[in-house]
Structure 1
């Protein structure tokens, strides 16, 4: 092998290594930014009512998304003939679910919120079967059973039951996860040709405005009473968690397989539970750690069905 060929080979290997390291770092960025989202919401709603907090978060994020559409030359408008889909995305992906998440965190810890929301891929699987006629494997059914059985034990270990207001928060978070899952599946069917930036920009702006105005009318927030921590949390949610995490996720969509990338939804709850426990001053019990691990393992099985792996090997 000549010296030139050896240098070319080393250069290629270095580029491959750099690309892999970049992917790993961006994957961690998504996991950490989305894992800290839940704590950010918890801090924000300490002194900002849920509707107002949801609206402010999106109003902070909107100018930056608008800037990206200008840089990329994308339209902020959905394609002609998709007004119904645009309204659906604005309401069912941004407006209602994010209010429910903010409301839920007024009753539930940030770590538990992340665990509850990690159910979303399961609901995606169910809606994909109902609306897209995709197959559900037996191992995925087993994974769902393990996941929801573990979730029940987590709720039980945390002392939540039907008689407590905490259960309302649980229902709100699960409803948000269901709505997001439905929106993902409908988007897969109707929004393939829409760029991700277009998909987010105008719906985020309109949702932010509607939520904020609704908050002004319904909640009548005292802006003078909002703490500095809550303001910083809203800025973090708007710029880092929404925009920063989104950019990294969008970049990885072009570089990693959907199956590998989807494990973000399994990993970020781990960050959320650890960070939330640290901030809220709660120790993570062995019982919670065990059931959380089982829950995430169960949901991981739903993403990589054993039968499909066996077919590929054969």
Structure 2
């Protein structure tokens, strides 16, 4: 397969995987409690990732001097944010949830300014302000329609994005050089057992009531979303530029919104759909390299 075809195939795969993940989480919630469902997801993905790490001869454990980050990654990168995501989807549509998560590049950029002393270009500052204002308008508009329950879901997703972005930036700073499978395999597997313990303590689990649809959704999240999404996006980052890879964050929410509309009949208001245009333009500007404007000039 030539490089262009590989890049396009990986790009489409990432967009489809990320776009369908949100509906799968919504489907899993129909009969499985959110924390237990997330634990099952990582119990499945952790085993697959461990096997892949062994096959590709990558270490299972973090290197000496960085092992304290193992527990931090397990809790703060996997267990907590992903539980907040699926918990929040009990109160908002999968389309709106994906739209909030699409602002991950904005959150990472803001955290990078704080922890990595990242200096933003003028076009990035303009894009950041545009994206933040647009997202606030969309969330305000949706809350006015759906009320207090919507606020709970938005808050959960907001915290999930913030926590995910903070750990992502800190790991970039302190855990550079750890292979991707090492970083994901054992921490996600450990997160599964932590979530099982928390679920037993706080959730009512009735295994006999689990439907085939919900179990299939969890299996999809474990194998396709967690393993396939990780491998495809990592490979995409190797064969494309960071700007090209970041465009996935503009495409997958559209797929999630279309699925939510088609399957569940849930759709954002017309005002919110229109405000998505400046939101996506703002996100695009934050990831656009400076040389793009120099070339145009």
Measure, in 1, the Cα distance between the counterparts of 2:142 and 2:247. Answer: 25
Distance 2:31 2:22 in 1: 16
Note the alpha carbon deviations across 1:165-216, whole angstroms, 9 max, x for none. 2201101101111111112211211122100000000000000111122112
Unaligned ranges ≥5, structure 1: 1-14
Report whether the alignment pairs 1:44 with 2:60. no
In 2, Cα distance between equivalents of 1:223 and 1:71: 33
Distance (Å, rounded) in 2 between the aligned partners of 1:134 and 1:297: 21
Q: 1:68 to 1:164 in 2, by over 3 A?
A: same
CA RMSD after TM alignment: 1.9
Matches within 5 A, 1:121-270: 121-160=105-144, 164-270=148-254
Cα distance, 1:301–1:76 mapped onto 2, change above 3 Å? same
Deviation at 1:284, TM superposition (A): 5.3
Does the 8 Å contact 2:131/2:280 carry over to 1?
yes
Structure 1 CA distance for aligned equivalents of residues 270 and 134 of structure 2: 13
8 Å CA contact 2:95, 2:267 repeated in 1: no
Count of aligned residue pairs for this structure pair: 297
- Which stretches of structure 1, 4 residues or more, deviate above 4 A after TM superposition? 160-163, 311-314
Aligned pair partner of 2:68 in 65, 70, 84: 84
Of 255, 261, 266, 1:277 maps to 261
Residue of structure 1 aligned with 2:6, choices 8, 19, 22: 22
1:57 corresponding residue in structure 2: 41
Larger Rg: 1
* TM-score normalized by the length of structure 1: 0.89
Give the C-alpha shift of residue 239 in structure 1. Answer: 0.5
- My pick for the range that moved more, 293-302 or 71-80, is 293-302
2:59 alignment partner, SS class:
coil
Distance 1:85 1:161 in 2: 42
- State the TM-score, normalizing by the size of structure 2: 0.94
